[in-house]
Chain A
Amino acid sequence: MGAGRADPLMAAASFLVRRVLATFVVLIAVTILTFVISHVIPGDPAQLIAGPRAGAAEVAQLRHALGLDRPLHEQYATYVVALLHGDLGASIVTGQPVLREILDRLPATIELMGLALLLSVAVAVPLGVIAAAARPSPLDTVLRGLSTVAISTPRFWVAMLLLGLFYGALQWAPPSGRLSPGLTPHELTGLLTLDSLLRGDWRLLRDATAHLVLPVAALAIGNIGTFARIIRAAMIEVLAQDHIRTARAAGISQARILSVYALRNALLPFVTIAGLELAGLLFGSVTVESVFAWPGIGSYLLDAILDLNFPVIMGVTLFVSIGYAVINLLIDLSYRCIDPRLRAPAG
């Protein structure tokens, strides 16, 4: 390796340490945020936790039981200790632990968001590449316009239009939920499509897929626009680089230059940005799940908001924030495996 360059293994290790530490700071920030929102901002947190229908004596008792009459820093310590034990509180509607209810609903959301993410990438990458390669041309202008509209459309509205058109008017799609009544899922991973595939249950697979099409499309449309714009911009930047001219001079075909030589480089920054776009997908899934009565975390959160079920609201917020931070940590770490410049030298 060139002189003056640190040992790559050491560099990788120090990156790992710094990145994990940063995530740790994020987790602390998350707990402080949710603590402030749940304990400091409301006039009377006990009233919120007890629910709107609780009486004064009951609230006072709860306030003492929860330690809400103690100093804030003590309350925060108690809060964090409970979190470390996996205690996110209990739902005031069902009385069940919030964490268990979240985990019950997690597979439905993962299946929905995962497929939406896959669909977005599968559609957006070719669109972005085509737009960049066709620039400047009417085709590029049209694709740019479409992606602008796609990112400007509220996901909940798309969800309603799709439902109204394909279920209400045309009767092509099933109404809502994950499965038609009468079908029972196989208990494996909780991802219905994957489970029915593993069990070879084609009827269940078809039914689950039919239920997924509309919500996945509604959720994906915004990301398709965002991703296509990112890919297009990254491709334009890469296509202007010297090594593309080298490849052209060497006679490598335009198709191969676009699909391998340029796209490889354009995808590197895309991976990180795609991870950050998960936040938008998460927020979108709250409304989209609600429109399709999808039994995931999003509709769980929305129901909790409507019921003023405060422990659930805060529990879901915390859970989702931690999940998001951890996923982005994993993406950053795997990025070092994707980008050859950050890998240890060959040989």
Chain B
Amino acid sequence: MTALALEVAEFTLDVGTRRLRALNDVDLCVGAGEIVGLIGESGSGKSLAALSIAGLLPKATGHTVAGAIRVGGVEGASRRAQVGFIFQEPMSALNPALRIDRQLVDAIRARRDADRATARQHAATLLAQLELPDPERVLRSYPHQLSGGMRQRVVIALALSGTPSLLIADEPTTALDVTVQLDVLRLIRDQARERNLGVLLITHDVNVVAYMAARLYVMYGGWIVEAGPTAQVLAAPRHPYTRALLASRPDRVARGAAIPAIDGFVPPLAAVTTGCRFADRCALVEARCHTPSALTVEGDVHIARCWKAGAGGSDAS
């Protein structure tokens, strides 16, 4: 059995002075060379989960954590070196005041012992592997002189520069033109295969997950509410939230028909969670959904945190 690229066990995150529960009892794993999706609305906690895994939570706000995170078999602060992070906004993810070569060389030298010339050589190789034409010109450029797609490739190069075991891609294509979105996704997939990298792909776009990921996790209100093989989850979602999420995909709704929105709002962070976080918006809500014990019904590979996960089936909606 190969080492897992990412192992998150019973991870809980409280933020701010009022200790609000942002992530609750998150269990998550990504195998080497495997692409795993993490989907949810904004505010679901998926980005906080990503930052937690990468050890990038901002210090200023204050937070406490419980549970374990292991990346490439490494735990604690040194796991940060095992993570490559691809950010959403290629426009703002690169430092506008420094040339690309400076940013790449610094990143390479931060993770390994190399002199400037060697590091620069490596940077050029990396850019070439990412199908950037004329790497030398790119290296000499400032970020504003590159197109969005080129910038996102540079961001990917930065993420790969430290030879990580895990790549976290947080909405990697949301900010890009439709025409380059597929290119970037394909690039991430190819790199994962070639380098035997685990990829945690964070997105709100079900189509991206369907295209990329073998398995997926669905997050809601800081909880993982459903997990399983992508095809299985998309075909037969077990959690009412997942069902609602899939039903609201614009491309799945018949022309002219109203897009079925989920009633209510994503719940604000709260100090204590007593029951299912989706209970307030759920059409199938019952009394037991508000009790703490309601949170651990499981299947085999396709699991969901819902009392009705087994019974409801995919056709109930």
The answer to whether A and B belong to the same complex is yes
Residue positions of A touching B, CB distance < 8 A: 1-2, 135-136, 241-253, 256, 260-261, 264-265, 268, 339-341, 345-347
- CA of A1 to CA of B92, assembled, Å: 18
In contact, A264 and B107 (Cβ under 8 angstroms): no
Q: How distant is the Cα of A250 from the Cα of B156 in the complex, in angstroms? A: 11
List B residues 79-118 near A (Cβ within 8 Å). Answer: 80-81, 83-85, 87, 89, 92-99, 103, 106-107, 110-111
Rounded to whole Å, the gap between the CB of B174 and the closest CB of chain A is: 13
When the two chains form their complex, are residues B111 and A265 in contact, meaning their CB atoms are under 8 A apart?
no
Contact B107 A251 (CB under 8 A): yes
Complex alpha-carbon distance, A135 and B103, angstroms? 26
Q: Given A250-B158, A251-B110, A347-B137, A243–B96 Cβ distance below 8 Å? A: yes
- Give the distance in Å from the alpha carbon of A268 to the alpha carbon of B97 in the complex: 9
Q: How far is the CA of A276 from the CA of B71 in the complex (A)?
A: 51
CA distance A249 to B98 in the complex (A): 17
Whole-angstrom distance between the alpha carbons of A256 and B107 in the complex?
Answer: 11
Whether A250 contacts B95 in the complex (CB less than 8 A), given A346-B142, A347-B141, comes out as no
25 CB < 8 A contacts A-B: A1-B145, A136-B60, A242-B92, A243-B93, A245-B87, A246-B87, A247-B95, A247-B103, A247-B107, A249-B54, A249-B80, A249-B83, A249-B85, A250-B106, A250-B107, A251-B107, A251-B110, A252-B106, A261-B95, A261-B98, A265-B96, A268-B97, A339-B97, A340-B144, A346-B99
Contact A251 B81 (CB under 8 A): yes
Indicate the member of B145, B155, B162 with the most A CB atoms within 10 Å. Answer: B145
Top 5 closest A-B pairs, CB basis? A250-B107, A251-B110, A264-B97, A249-B85, A242-B92
Chain B residues bordering chain A, tally (CB within 8 A): 35
B56 contacts chain A at the CB level, 8 A cutoff:
yes
**Bound complex: CA of A261 vs CA of B81, how far in Å?**
19
Verify if B159 is at the interface (C-beta below 8 Å from A): yes
Neighbouring B residues of A264 by C-beta, 8 Å: 95, 97-98
Which residues does B use to contact A, with CB under 8 Å?
54, 56, 60, 80-81, 83-85, 87, 89, 92-99, 103, 106-107, 110-111, 137, 140-142, 144-145, 147, 155, 158-159, 161-162
Taking A243-B93, A346-B140, A347-B137 as contacts, is the C-beta distance between A250 and B110 under 8 angstroms? yes
Given contacts A246-B155, A346-B140, contact A340 B97 (CB under 8 A): yes
* Complex CA–CA separation, A131 to B81 (angstroms): 28
The answer for the CA separation of A245 and B85 in the assembled complex, in Å, is 10
Q: A241-B92, A243-B95 are in contact. Are A250 and B142 (CB under 8 A)?
A: no
CA distance A252 to B158 in the complex (A): 11
Q: Cβ of B81: which chain A residues have Cβ within 8 Å of it?
A: 251
Residue of A at shortest CB range from B89?
A: A242
Interchain CB contact (< 8 A) of A245 among B56, B84, B147: B56
Whether the Cβ atoms of B145 and A346 lie closer than 8 Å is: yes
Contact A253 B110 (CB under 8 A): yes
Question: Please, which residues of chain B bring their CB within 8 A of the CB of A340?
Answer: 96-97, 99, 142, 144
Contacts of A265 in B (CB 8 A): 95-97
Which B residue sits closest to A256, measured CB to CB? B106
CA distance A243 to B92 in the complex (A): 6
Residue pair A250, B98 in contact (C-beta under 8 Å): no
Name the distance in Å between B134's Cβ and chain A's nearest Cβ: 8
**In this complex, which of A244, A251, A256, A340 has the most chain B Cβ atoms within 10 angstroms of its Cβ?**
A251
Checking A243, A248, A268, A341 against B56 with a beta-carbon cut-off of 8 angstroms, the contacting residue is: A248
